Amino acid sequence: MQAFFQRLLALDRRWVFLLVLLSVTIPIVIPIGLPVTTTSSTRSAFEFIEALEPGDIVWLSFDYGPSSAPENDPMAEAFLRQCLLKKVRVIVSAFYPLGGLDLANQVVAKVTAEYPDAKYGVDYINLGYKDGAAAVMRTLGQDITSSFPTDVNGRPLSEFPIMQGIRTVRQIDLVFTVATGLIGEWWITQVHSQFGTPVIIGPTAVSAPKYYAFLNSGQLVGMLGGMKGAAEYEKLLAAKHASFRKFYGETVGFTATKGMDGQTVLHGVILGLIFLGNLAFFLTRGNRAGGA
């Protein structure tokens, strides 16, 4: 036993690397489905969106970059799926400078492929990327076309039925911002506080704590905090709609639920390693003292 612990203390770190790799890979390939308890901020976001009627119009903004995609992608995908299923119309934009547009294009292409009935320009539209988020948001209260004269492919917005009668962000029923940094906060401070449009945010786990203040003050309808929040959301979707139960149960694609499995297992593995390390340290302490 002593010898085992001695060896554990001098463990080649490549064994640790292998453990890390396995504990993240396995849940992606074979979902485990660990229990997730839903929190009130996610539930209020879900219920607000569930209460929207067919024909209502929402704004989905991609305000994050590739480095937080595993946390943020599932939020944007779940929201888009829910809207398309409920026939809520969606306007998509991107404000994150480095790669926000790429992610918007990918997510929109992926999710709309699952809903062949949804028509571009009628049920959803992609406005593309715009530089200078804070300034652009201020103009959305007067005239959307002043900042977004065309869609992502350069066609004038007036050509699209979805934009008929939509002039300002005041007419939008909900903004959902999937965000890493400051841009999400601007939707609250620039758009909600000036034009009154309800806002739901999907921040990364690191920036989630600062949004609790906005939740408490009622400036946010709801929040999906990090990958955990996204996993909660997937759980709520699956509980409500049979089609989502099937989809999230069977998809080979990435979901926040799978990511959360990996996160939890890896945190457990690291804590287990730390525990074993300390155990070995204490059990072999006598030896070391004698040896020295």
Partner 1 sequence: MQMDLIGTWLAAFLTLAAFSFLYKDNPFFRFTESLFAGVSLGYYVGIVLNQTLLPNLFIPMAQDFKTNWDLLVPGLLGLMLYMRSAPRIGWISRYALAIYVAYYIGVDFTRRIHGEVMPQIARTIRPLQAFDGPTLVSLIFIVGVYSVLIYFFFSKEQNAVTRPIARLGTWFLMISFGAAFGFTVMGRVALLIGRLNFLILDWIYPTIGR
Partner 2 sequence: MNLEFGRVTLVVLFALLPIAGIALGLRAPALRSKIPLLVAFFAGLIPIFSMYIPKKFLSGESGMSPRLDQWLIIVAGFALLLGITNVVSNGYRKISRRDRGWPYAIVLLTGLFVMGGFGIYGAISGKGIGFLPDGSATPFRWVWSAVFQPLQSTIFALLAFFMASAAFRAFRARNTEATILLIAGAIVMCGRVPLLEFLASPFPALAPSAAAASQFMGRATEWIMDIPNGAAQSGIIIGAALGAGSMAIRVILGIERGYLGLGKGE
User: What residue ranges bind partner 2 (CB under 8 A)?
Assistant: 11, 13, 16-17, 19-21, 24, 34-37, 66-67, 99, 102, 153-154, 205, 209, 228, 260, 263-271, 273-274, 277-278, 281-282
Nearer to partner 2, 83 or 226 (CB): 226
What's the token pair of residue 63?
């305000």
To partner 2, the closest distance from the beta carbon of 26 in angstroms equals: 14
Our finding on whether 184 is near partner 1 (CB under 8 A) is: no
Report the 10 Å Cβ neighbour count for 268: 11
Cα distance between residue 175 and residue 109, in whole Å: 20
Site map (CB under 8 A) of partner 1, residues 59-78, x = contact: -------xxxxxx-------
- Among 25, 158, 193, 287, indicate the residue that binds partner 1 (CB under 8 A): 25
Provide the mask over 214-243, with x wherever binding to partner 1 is found by CB under 8 A and - wherever it is not: ------------xx----------------
Identify residues 244-283 at the interface with partner 1 (CB under 8 A).
Answer: 252-254, 259, 262-263, 266-267, 270
Q: Which two tokens stand for residue 185?
A: 């906060």
Q: Which does 68 bind (CB under 5 to 8 A by kind): partner 2, partner 1, none?
A: partner 1
Q: What does the alpha-carbon distance between residue 124 and residue 137 come to, in Å, rounded to a whole number?
A: 20
The DSSP letter of residue 173 is S
Q: Which is nearer to partner 2, 37 or 164 (CB)?
A: 37
181 binds partner 1 (CB under 8 A): no
Q: Quote the CA–CA distance of 82 and 46 in Å, as a whole number.
A: 10
Helix (H, G, I), strand (E, B) or coil at 125: strand
The alpha carbon dihedral of 33, 38, 41, 44 has a sign of positive
Separation between Cα atoms, residue 91 and residue 57, nearest integer Å:
8
What phi and psi, each to the nearest 5 degrees, are found at residue 94? Answer: -135, 130
Pairing of strands 57-63, 89-94: parallel
From 19, 20, 85, 273, residue interacting with partner 1 (rule: CB under 8 A): 20
Nearer to partner 2, 101 or 200 (CB): 101
Looking at beta carbons only, is 121 or 253 nearer to partner 1?
A: 253
User: Under a CB-based contact definition with an 8 Å cutoff, are residues 65 and 73 in contact?
Assistant: no
Q: Minimal CA–CA distance to 93: which of 16, 24, 191?
A: 191
For the CB of residue 74, give the shortest distance to partner 1 in the complex, in Å: 11
| Residues at the interface with partner 1 (CB under 8 A) | 14, 17, 20, 24-25, 28-29, 66-71, 204-206, 226-227, 252-254, 259, 262-263, 266-267, 270
